[in-house]
Amino acid sequence: MRDYAIDLFDRWTQLWNGDYALADEIMAPAFTLRYAQPGAAAYDSIRDRAAFVDAIDTFRKERPGLVFSTQGTPVVEMDDTRTGIIARPYGAQVIDSAGTVVRDISGTDILRAENGQIVEVWSVSGGLEGRSFYA
């Protein structure tokens, strides 16, 4: 199940990079988001896939050139029913039109899954004013 959990986190990252079709695949029909970073309180009230995709799309449009990636070592506790958690650091880079990184920050997401779909997310970072923990 470790490989499944890591793949789930990778797909979560792809969703945040604009692959919105993944929402129906990886997100449960109803879920809870808990975002502990500046300016992210609106995510706490989102409970369905369509609203979440709209929020991610708006977020991305406000931050052109934003690219998320996985970082660090994942922590996985998942059983054979694909129920459990994966916690992993992530990186977010803001890249300008010339391909230069103008901002590099890190955070950590904890995904709780039931039957292979995400039912709860805890996300922590310093927002765009945060710092990078992984070079």
Digit-coded pLDDT (tens) for 6-49: 999 999 999 999 999 999 999 999 999 999 887 888 999 999 99
Range of the domain at 123: 2-129
What pLDDT, on the 0 to 100 scale, is given for residue 103? 73
Number of separate domains in the chain: 1
- Say if 42 falls within a structural domain: yes
Residues 6 or more apart whose CB falls under 8 angstroms from that of 111 comprise 8, 9, 12, 85, 86, 87, 118, 120, 121
- Say if 8 falls within a structural domain: yes
- Say if 111 falls within a structural domain: yes
Gap between the Cα atoms of 69 and 133, Å rounded: 13
- Say if 109 falls within a structural domain: yes
- Say if 125 falls within a structural domain: yes
- Say if 68 falls within a structural domain: yes
pTM: 0.90
- Say if 134 falls within a structural domain: no
- Say if 27 falls within a structural domain: yes
Identify the weakest region by mean pLDDT among 7-21, 65-79, 115-129. Answer: 115-129
What pLDDT, on the 0 to 100 scale, is given for residue 97? 77
